[in-house]
Structure formats: C-alpha cells, structure tokens
Structure 1
C-alpha cells in the first residue's frame, strides 16, 4: 500500500493567489532543514526575484538549510512567448549565484528534447515537514504581484512521511542520478551530452514511483484520512492517469472536475459520459476563453498562438451541444469562469465528496501522454474535508456562469476577424489531430 495516514486537521486549503504568495514566503522564512521547490518555471520578474531573494536570505541565515529548486530545463532558458531570444530565467539564477556566497541549487530537468514534446510538470514544495501543493508556478501573475492574477488550487499538508516521499523522489531521480544539470552554473552539457541525459532520464522516469514508509492500517483512527502520492509519465502504465480514470469509473453520486483547458483525453471523456449515463451528477468548472493564458484581447496584436483558446471553446461548444439532454436533466453542469482580465488554472477532481485529486495535471491529452505529472489522491472516508472543499468550490463558482445551452457559447462567426479567418483556414480534422496530441 502507498497511502499515508494524515490527521484531517493537518490539511489546509488556501483560496487566492495572494494567500499563495504570503504562505510561500512564510514557509521559506520558517524552514530550518530543507526546502525543495518543484515548478514548471520560476520567472525572472518581480515576484520571482522576491522569492529567490527570500530563498537566498534563508540560506544565509541558516547555512545548514538545504535548498533545491527544480524547473523545466528548456523553459528555464527562454523568455516568454513572443520575446526575443535570451537566457530567460537562467540569467537571474546565474546573477544571484555570483552575488551570494551560500548557494541555492537550481536544477533544470529536461524530460523531452523540446518543450512542445513534453515538460517537467511536477508540482509540490517541501518546507521541512510541510508539503505545499499547487498547480501554480512562480511569477507575477501566479502570485498576484500586480493587478492581474491567475487562479489555481493551493493545499498544504503537514506530514513528515509525505514530505520525505517527495524529497526522496526528487533526490533519486534528478540529483543522485546526475540527470538534471544545475542552471545556476556557467557550464551546461553540450547537445550530445544533453541528448544522452534525456534518453536515460526518460527510461528512468517511466519506471519511477513515490516511495512511502509502511504503516499499520489497524492504527487508523476516526479523525484521520489517507493520501497516496502519484506520479505519471507517458501513456502506458501511467499511475496518475489510471487513478484519475478509476475515480470517475467508481463514482456513484457526484463528480466535480476542474480543468483550465476543455480537451479531455479520449479515455477520460468516455468515462465521464458513462458516469452521466448511470445517473452521476457531473460539474465541470472550466476557464472561459478570455481566462486562458494564451488569450490575446487585441485583434491588432493577434498571433497564431492566440488561436488556442478559441479551439478549446469550439470543443466545449461541441460537447455541450452533444450532451444537452444531460444538462436538461440536471445531471451536467458546466460553469465558465471569468473575472475581469484574470486567468484560470485550476485542475483536479472531487468524487462522491470523499475522494479528492489535487494535481498539476491539466487533464488533457498533453498532460496524459507527454508531460511528467504528479498529484495527491486523498481518501476522506468520513468527509472531514467536505466543509473545506465546499468553501473552496463556492469561492471558485462566484466568478462563473452556468451554461444552460450550447447557444450561450460563441460560434466562429462571433469571433474577431483574425482568429475567425485563421479558423476557417484550418480543417476540423487538423484541429482534432493537433488538440489530441499537443494541447
């Protein structure tokens, strides 16, 4: 068994990006033994610099404190989409490494040769014996540094066993194996070396799993629940994907599903439809196209990458139209999230008010088959977390609109001129092929 017993009072949910930032900085300041941070990226912007400065200050105050940061190797060496070529976030890492005598390790993990084919999408931050889990990365918008924010889910678990499991996995897979170069050192592997590293790491990751200390199930008492840490990479034998499907397949009353991009993998979509047909109530909370991080509001500045939110909306409209009968029966509830010009990045599942999947996986084909993903599967048999997750859900739904008909969703004819023209050039079969593979 891989489950970890946790007292229900040791799990806390946070609801806003500002709380995320406040808690992140607080946990850094309180740490004395270890800090392990895993994110897609730690950005060279105001929020990213503030977090990095806090990490270096902690290291200076407590030299014995071990600080390891893991980011995607390719993403860490480029700027934002549309920016000119640069060292990207690595420029910040190198600058700070030169300024401070005590070092913070920033590892670059390359699961694929190029970002388009897959990235490090592991999440989770360990501060001593606390695991702070969120799908968010670290930059201005995720931490609500200025006016705009990107909403995610934020869960903190006080468990030495769970924290040890996460740290052991990261150490074994990336540090001890020497398969993750340090991005804050001057020399990086050449192309041939990096190719060998990626090939070796891919084989290793497909076999990888979280190691959990054994425990006595008979010792479980009434105020406790269990957590199983899961990791998944690739389409075959992916434990995270299989656990996600099993949750939906076993649902008897209700499924709540969060995803920022409506493009469920075929197998998961099939499970969802089967659950509806057997009378399970399904609530889907998804970002409006304007809440997508690729959305470009100004038609004059529109570029090809900006077509992505429209493609997702087309898929959603098709889904709603096809399963309108379940909406009419009250079984299918689609909620579109939109709040000013902010963006939506939530993901995960709640099933029968007992099982909770806290994950960084976007529950789309890319996450299902290309990226390295992880998550926490919580079994709360006695529903100790129900009030907390109800409060979380209620706060999210404040900024949503319930869709009662496919006619409430815009069609291609309603789109601005440039995305409309581009969509008309792309055949529907081409769109499906692209979405099923990469988005």
Structure 2
C-alpha cells in the first residue's frame, strides 16, 4: 500500500509540475449540443475583430461546411484587415469523403470554386500533410483561434458535426477566452506550418503533387515529433489553470500526460472515447487501477453510433468492419473484468441515439483534472496522428457545475452494460461480417486495420 501511494504521488507531481496558464473561471463556457456549437462558431466568426484561424481535419463541401466558409468570406468582406486562414489535412481534402456524392471530386476543388465566386476576397485554405499517406497520419489538431478565444471541440466542419439535415455527431464544445492560450496555439501553427514547403494552398487551380513535397513532409513530421507549445506558464497551483499539450508519436508529451492522468487517480476516473481500441499501455493502467480499488467509468459509442456503421440493407465495404472490431475489443475487455463490473468498480456505458453518431473524448480525474483532447484514445491517435489537448487543473472545483452538466448530457443516451453478454458475439453478427472476421483472424490483419483507421 505504501509503495502504491508513493507511485501515485510521483504521478501527480508530474502533473503539478507542468507549466500552466492562469484561467478566469467565468471565461470558460461549456456548450452542450452541436446546434449551440454551430450557432456560437458562426456568431464568433462574424464578429471577429482581428484574426480567425480555423484548424480542422476537414472542411467539407456540404451544407455545414458551406455555412462556415460563407461566414469566413462574409467576415473578411466586412473587415479587410482581418487576419484569416483555414488549415485542413492535405490528404483528406483531396479525396471524396467515403460514401459522399458531392458535385466536386474533392473539397479542394470546391475551395477553388469559392475563390472564383468571391473575387478580391482572400480566405486562404492550406493543406497540411502529416505523413506521406493519409493512412499513416493526419492533421488532428483542434482549437479554432478567433481573436482572444479558443473554441475547442473534436468536431470537423460538415453536416453531421454541425447538426444539419436532421442528423448529428455528438462531441464536446468549449469556448475559452484566454489571450495567452490563444497566442500559444497560434504561435505553434505559424512556426510549424507556415515555414515549411510541405504546407501549400489548396484553393488554387494547380495544386502541388504528393511526390513533390514527400521530402518536406518527412522533415515536417520529424519537427512535429520534437516540438511542443511555447508559452509562459505563470499560474500557481491555487489557480484555475490550463496546460496546452501537443504531440505526435508514442513518446509525445500529450501521451505521457494521458498516462500520468490515469496513474494519478485517487478515487475515480471517467473516460470517454468514440472507439474502444486503446493502446495496450492504457489498458494495462486501467486494469492496474481497478486492482487498487479505484472507480472507473468508460463512456463509449455503440457500434451503431460509429460513423462507419451501415445498416444491413446497404452495400457492405471493408471499412464497415471497424465498428464490429471495436465492439469485439470492448467485449473481450469486459469478459476479463466482469468481476469489477459486478462489484461496482467498473461502469461501462454505451451511447446510442437513433441514427446519430458519437465522437466524445476526454478524461475527468477526481473532480480536479479535466482533459479536453483531440486524441481518440485509440492506437491510431497514440502513434500516427498529430494530436493536441488542454489539461485543466481545477483544484477548487470552480468548473464542477459545468463538468457535472456536461457529463449529464453525455450520459443521457447511454445504457449501462452489466454483463459482457449484453454485447453481441461474433456468432451473432451478420453473415458477411462473420465471414470476413474468420478470414482475417488467422493472419491478425484485423489488428492492423484497427490501428490504421
């Protein structure tokens, strides 16, 4: 017991020693729905005074994406001195979204069309290649920087994230007014992306080819592995404070902090992830905490709340296997730990609400630490993608009511799993799915797929 306490104190010391930016409690606002997020984002864009930087995995050519890009052009038209830029993943922007039927071959074609439709109004869109191929890493940074605010959400900019046309993809949404924090995030973006030949405009008639920037992409990836946010962390341990974290690869400071968060739990940890495909290290840490008597709550999306899930009456593609692979992981996890479910230490909730989907991620520890993050807590986020996060230290529970309300909304459409048999076994899957699983398992290709997607 003494040894356990010693290690827990060491882990907490790591968190306490991280440099922190002071935060005024009244300047953090939590939103609880995609409609509120969309409305607030549009309002903030249209009232921006001196800068707008939109960083997202994708800005898609659909109703949701068009609303945002139109607002950016409108804001620039009203204020010609506005500093503005959009950064999206270079690979994702140059292919059609799986299952989409847009008028343009890819989003980049649409960006160029918007330039021609708005002569004299500059809203540059840049493509950021995190690796030479999309399957090996994407731009997964979050945080829209508008004046002195950071609008932090895991949402991309398209119909489902902005709740257009009757469907939504549920995420987390926070508005943080904090000039040093916004400056820190923006300084990283400018230093890493606007100083390298790997990053180029997408809204132009002739776009650069992948092979032309292959060398620069590799150099950028190495730089991203070695660089963190730069800021003056002057907050004391008695203040509400935020530590911005960014990283790429297994040894990143973001991954280290997630590890330390799990290790430092004193009473209870709450963890949200859209895909149950955690790295082995995190799985081992969670099991170790259960053995020490700690309480753990995991809120994960049902397989039908995965954006790759399709109903049985539609054509099935290999990509549609993913929700089943994630459910298999979860069922095996619960099978091993059923005794902790029975004694009340482990609570697992499945989120499901009709045809809507789930994209919530984050960690709450002992009502003292909150992590807002782009990291899906899966193998791909841990190893391949460029991720970031905001670690909030709330020693005096100044955000307790907001956190409680947010968790209440997240739990609204969940059901508690009391036994692993409540999840389907392979034998209960559709015939097509069963056949593919039985073919893949002998060569372990299912594990590779789950790491890359």
TM-score by length of 1: 0.96
Partner of 2:248: 233
Question: Which structure 2 residues correspond to residues 134-283 of structure 1 after superposition, within 5 A?
Answer: 134-215=153-234, 217=236, 224-236=239-251, 238-283=252-297
Shift in Å, 1:91: 1.5
- Matched with 2:394 is 380
Q: Does 1:364 align with 2:378?
A: yes
Q: How many Å apart are 1:193 and its aligned residue?
A: 2.3
Return the alpha-carbon distance in structure 2 between the equivalents of residues 431 and 201 of structure 1.
Answer: 30
The answer to whether 1:106 aligns with 2:121 is no
Helix, strand or coil: the match of 2:200? coil
Rounded to whole Å, the distance in 2 between the matches of 1:429 and 1:422 is: 12
2:115 paired with 1:97: yes
Q: CA deviation at 1:413?
A: 1.7
Conserved 8 A contact 1:141-1:150: yes
The equivalent residue for 2:62 is 45
Deviates more, 1:68-77 or 1:409-418: 409-418
- Structure 1 residues 226 and 81, CA, compared in 2 at 3 Å: closer, same or farther? same
- Distance of 2:112 and 2:419 partners within structure 1: 52
Larger CA deviation: 150-159 vs 426-435: 426-435
What is the match of residue 289 of structure 1? 303
Deviations 1:62-93 (A, max 9, x none): 00001111100000011111458964111121
Change (3 A) 1:425 1:190: closer
Corresponding residue for residue 4 of structure 2 = none
Unaligned runs of 5+ in 2: 1-17
- Which of these residues, 322, 339, 359, is aligned with residue 325 of structure 1? 339
User: In the alignment, does 2:49 pair up with 1:32?
Assistant: yes
CA RMSD of aligned residues (A): 1.6
Q: How many Å separate the matches in 2 of 1:11 and 1:90?
A: 34
Distance between the aligned counterparts of 1:112 and 1:367, measured in 2? Answer: 14
CA shift for structure 1 position 214: 4.6
| 3-state SS in 1 of match to 2:41 | helix
With over 3 angstroms needed to count, the CA separation of the structure-2 counterparts of 1:203 and 1:245, relative to structure 1, is same
Quote the Cα distance in structure 2 between the aligned partners of 1:189 and 1:437.
Answer: 29
Question: How far, CA to CA, are the matches of 2:353 and 2:208 in structure 1?
Answer: 44
Shift of 1:429: 5.7
Residue equivalent to 2:367 = 353
Structure-2 separation of matches of 1:437 and 1:397 = 27
Residues matched between the structures, number: 434
String of CA shifts for 1:120-161, please: whole Å, max 9, x gaps: 101110110000000010000100011111000011111000
Q: Provide the C-alpha distance between the structure 2 equivalents of 1:118 and 1:216, rounded to a whole number of angstroms.
A: 34
2:106 paired residue number: 88
Q: Is the 8 A contact 2:437 2:446 kept in 1?
A: no
Q: CA deviation at 1:348?
A: 0.8
* Distance apart, 1:4 and its partner CA: 0.4
Aligned-partner Cα distance in 1 for 2:233–2:256: 23
Of 300, 315, 319 in structure 1, the residue corresponding to residue 329 of structure 2 is 315
SS in structure 1 of the partner of residue 444 of structure 2 = helix
SS state at 1:185 partner = coil
Q: Deviations over 1:301-359 (max 9, x none)?
A: 11111111001001111111110010011000000000001000000100011101100
What's the CA shift for 1:435? 5.0
Classify 1:273/1:29 alpha carbon distance in 2 versus 1 (closer, same or farther; 3 Å): same
Are the counterparts in 2 of residues 299 and 418 from structure 1 also a CA contact under 8 Å? no
The whole-number CA distance in structure 2 between the counterparts of 1:13 and 1:386 is 11
Q: Is the 8 A contact 2:19 2:234 kept in 1?
A: no
State whether residues 365 and 435 of structure 1, in contact with CA within 8 Å, keep that contact through their aligned partners in structure 2.
Answer: no
**Residue equivalent to 1:15:** 32
Q: Residues 98-141 of structure 1, C-alpha deviation per residue, up to 9 Å, x if partnerless? A: 22212112110001111111101011101100000000100001
TM-score, normalised relative to structure 2:
0.93
Q: 1:300 to 1:65 in 2, by over 3 A?
A: closer
For 1:314 and 1:270, locate their aligned partners in 2 and report how far apart those are by CA, in whole Å.
18
Distance 1:216 1:129 in 2: 18
Return the offset for 1:199: 1.3
Where 2:325 maps in the other structure, the secondary structure is helix
Alpha-carbon distance between aligned partners in 2 of 1:226 and 1:64, rounded to the nearest angstrom = 32
Select the residue among 72, 82, 90 that pairs with 2:89.
72
Q: Which segment is superposed worse, 180-189 or 315-324?
A: 180-189
- Residue by residue, what CA displacement relative to the aligned partner does 1:241-289 show, whole Å, maximum 9, x if unpaired? 0000000001010000000000110111111111111111000000000
Q: Which residue of 2 aligns with 1:416?
A: 430
| 1:173–1:179 Cα contact (<8 Å) kept | no
